[in-house]
Chains A and B, each alone.
Chain A
Amino acid sequence: MRLTPVDTRMLNGAEGEGAAFAMRLLTSFAKALGAPSLLDITRAHIDGCLYHGVASLDFVERLVSGGARVRVPTTLNVGAIDLIHPELMRMPAAEQTPARRLMLAHQELGCEPSFTCAPYQTRFRPAFGEQVAWGESNAIVFANSVIGARTNRYGDFIDLCCAVTGRAPAWGLHLDEPRRGRVLFRLTGSPEPTESLFVAVGLFVGERTGERVPVIDGLPPPRSEDQLKALGAAAASSGSVGLFHAVGITPEAPTLRDAFGGAAPEETIEIRPSDVRDVLRRLSTAPDGEPITAVCLGTPHFSRDEWERFLPLLRAAAPRRGIPIYVNTGRATLRALESAGALDGLDAFGLRIVTDTCTYLTPILERLDGVVVTNSGKWAHYAPGNLGVRVAFGDLEDCLASAVAGRIERVVAW
């Protein structure tokens, strides 16, 4: 592999022990990929502050003690603790200690304490064409697909090595050719742009496209980029999608021809209305009408736009059964809402705002013995395995109607 003189200096310790360690890992990783060289990145997003075990914390501590600092603006993904609402945590204090330390140690490396899985909703959002190194599957697919920034699917240790060195392997989705579409998914039946449609399409594409870049044709114009966020998060949950193109919607796919770079699709797969209904039906593990114990929204973190849509619906529905409505959101989004006074008087409706973490990852829910209603395909995909709850998926309106009724209600047609 070709290294620049700057890379070599860092590898040899001229920038300190921590940076040398990061560069050694990065070059070994790049060599195993078969990358010919490294390239400069402008930003990073680190998925390493959710505590998984001793080795993950020891790794970050080694960088801290080796004097490492991130070389590019670097945001942090969710941790295991809501640092702003610690009273919500139902985790023993002894388990909280290393989880908190991991979040703090990342800040000592110069990372921004964003603690959100939606860094694209912050002022650190990259622009079209920027080379970045991002972790967190939904953030990766959003950056590549919706923004047109360029990142591979980085994870464990390597995202932080990229941030500390300011470099990434010149390989994969950083380059032009691997970004072009391979498989065509064609929607039939002119569906309405409901939340559930975008989730269903994401899950369907993720299950079938494998490692190949999917192109989706026939998607109705989304009401907001949050619907594309939901699609990408779902596709990265059911599969390993790091980039999708939606013809006429996403920036690298103004036309079908652009999406495929002039080449023909390797395969064409139809998504029929019956496929959408099948995927959605499989996502719920509880039948309609069952009593519910909670509503979970905001996976990925609720954006300002989603709050603007949700708050009037919540005030109009005015649920009073005491069923908690958990909404995960970024701390910066919360601050903006609070300073606008947008959240006043909502406690009576069961609203519980969660920042810095996510309700499917860490012990926050008061009850795990019942059915949880969510409008998130990602939450519905992972929570039954992670938490042991049963789940019902629906649009936002379904979630609120269920909170009012105390059982699974549906008002939006599939």
Chain B
Amino acid sequence: MTRDAQPYADGGAEAPALVLSVPLSLWGGIDVETGRIIDRSHPDAGACVAGRVLVMPTGRGSSSSSAVLAEALRLGTGPVAIVLGAADPILTVGALVAETLYGVRCPIVVCAIDGIATGDRMRVSAANGRASIVHSSTV
């Protein structure tokens, strides 16, 4: 199933989805060395964002999440794309910094996220002011 989306950071990626039901602050929320979710109050604590298409309603919390995302993308422990229900300036900046400094692209797009489940195959593309996501259930 294909959906139109709004692009905030360009790029393309294909990977399984990790869907978070509540927003995660990356600062204090993930271990940047591994990409694992370490915020114990988060329902998905223990899951790993590395190599996944991270899907969540929106970002949350400290502006230091920009640097955490950039650092995770530098180390290869970050998500390969982020799909949000609402735009998030802090994550957008982190992705753009990583792209400029390290050439690592993590497309960030905004669209309706209902019906996407963890493990679904996802394809995200954003370029030239356009974006789309394709997802299909694995079962």
Contact = CB atoms under 8 A, between A and B. Distances in A.
Please indicate whether A and B come from the same complex rather than being unrelated chains: yes
Interface of A: 21, 24-25, 28-34, 52-56, 58-59, 62, 135, 153-158
Contacts of B67: 52-53, 55-56, 156-157
A62 B66 CA distance: 16
Interface residues of B, number: 25
B101 A32 contact: no
Nearest to B9: A28
B97 A25 contact: yes
A164 B100 CA distance: 17
Interface string B78-122: 000000000111101110111011100000000000000000000
A157 B66 contact: yes
Majority secondary structure of chain A interface residues (helix, strand, loop or mixed)? helix
Interface of B: 8-9, 32, 62-67, 70-71, 74, 87-90, 92-94, 96-98, 100-102
Query: Residue among A21, A29, A34 with the most chain B CB within 10 A?
Result: A29
B41 to A, nearest CB: 14
Contacts of B64: 52, 155-156
A71 B64 CA distance: 24
Given A55-B67, A55-B70, A155-B64, 9 more contacts: A24-B96, A28-B8, A29-B93, A53-B71, A59-B70, A59-B101, A153-B63, A155-B66, A156-B63
Contact of A28 (B63, B92, B101, B102): B92
B12 to A, nearest CB: 18
A158 B93 contact: yes
A380 to B, nearest CB: 19
Contact of B32 (A31, A53, A62): A53
Nearest to B87: A32
Contacts of A33: 87, 89
Contacts of A53: 32, 67, 71
